[in-house]
Amino acid sequence: MKSAAPRDLRSLPRAEVDALVARLGEKPYRARQIFRWLHQKGAASLDEMTDLPAALRARLGAEVPLEALSRAAERRSTDGTIKWTWKTADGRLVESVYMPEPGRKTLCVSTQAGCAMGCTFCMTGTMGLVRNLTAGEIVDQVARANRRLVELGEAPGPRPLTNLVFMGMGEPLHNYENLRAALDVLLSEDGPNFSNRHVTVSTAGIVPEMRRFGEETDVKLAVSLNATTDEVRSALMPLNRRWPIAELMAACRDFPMKKGRRITFEYVLLGGVNDSDEDAVRLSRIVKGIPAKVNLIPYNENPGLGFLAPAPARVEAFRDRLVRANVTAVVRRNRGQDISAACGQLAAEGGAGDPRRRGEDDTPPLTGRGSAG
């Protein structure tokens, strides 16, 4: 089994940077300088930290490495979406997607190389799980994107991005510790200082970690529901065999709704699979009583997976039935389809045929009932 990638300087929380600076015998203000260079200015190397003495930079480099993601590919859609493929220090490829809208510039962030969830309609699911990303690799997607957007003239620096959604490659709550550490940095006043209201984390429904996530963070939660019966959801999302719909919805009802939170339910509409009027009626009953909205996502067709997008009229009829049942429901516009950057289309490692896709998982197994395999 391949070991986890080592933590680098960008992965360290502020308290550990403080401790590192103290151990090196430096004055405390150096920790803030280092942290701001990393997370406000997005320094890619220690050499960029020009107001730190060269001797201190050398000692820092000897203590803990600083690695930045390199840009392996960049593709721009006709709708303004940009998909970046990043390469990690050990050669893994992960993707993140920039989605500009009036008054909002959003980055879709990955938390794993590949994914262990095996959702049958998702290209990332064909990869299997290669490894978790470190907190530094998660955070650095934001830093590299901000820098690149400034270079491209998309917005003034140093932080063009306004919103983050953790809906890229991987299941965020399956990499909980690194996700949590990354959120601490991204919300920090000495870091990028994102508002908790502008950060959303998506999950396929790892119930125990949902409860923990709700208590330990203030950011928003999105739940990928995608079906209204256990039979269909288990076929689409093997995780449902461990935590079926009733357990998942109980966790949603128990989720702390502090600071004006509400849950977003993501529902990918698959033609002839989960898009009937009966599904809409069941969905309205399932979410009843939960402060929530439903994002309806017409399926982005992926060759070889065997699913079709529903007709536009079916999508509208599904939404209208939810609205008549007093459910807040919107149809999410698909972005970046022409560059395979839309929901469910990220597969940087090459999909099912990639020889690296199995056997290198450094994450603990999921716990719960039954089997997801």
Instruction: Report the candidate in 285, 191, 185, 269 with the shortest Cα–Cα distance to residue 226.
Output: 269
User: Exactly one of 95, 137, 209, 266 is catalytic; which is it?
Assistant: 95
Distance, CA of 221 to CA of 218 (rounded, Å): 9
Determine contact, residues 85/93, Cβ cutoff 8 Å.
yes
Q: Is 63 a catalytic residue?
A: no
Spatial distance between the Cα atoms of 112 and 178, rounded to a whole number of angstroms: 10
Among left, alpha and beta (phi > 0; psi -120 to 50; other), residue 364 is: beta
Q: Quick one: which of 85, 123, 78, 70 has its CA closest to 100? A: 78
- Strand 163-166, strand 199-203: pairing: parallel
Q: Of all residues in the chain, what percent are helix, strand and coil, respectively (each to 5)?
A: 35, 15, 45
Asked if residue 21 lies in contact with residue 28, where contact means CB atoms within 8 angstroms, the answer is yes
Catalytic-role residue among 115, 119, 122, 343? 343
349 closest CA partner among 117, 127, 169, 72: 127
Bridge partners (DSSP) listed for residue 201: 166, 221
Query: Is residue 119 flagged as an active site residue?
Result: no
DSSP letter for 334, please: P
Burial class (CB in 10 A: 0-12, 13-18, 19+), 156: exposed
* Beta strand spans in the chain (E): 70-76, 82-87, 93-101, 104-108, 112-114, 129-132, 163-166, 199-203, 220-224, 263-269, 292-298, 329-331
60: how many CB neighbours lie within 10 A of its CB? 22
Phi-psi label, residue 105: left if phi above 0, alpha if psi -120 to 50, beta otherwise = beta
Gap between the Cα atoms of 223 and 226, Å rounded: 9
Residues assigned a catalytic role:
95, 343
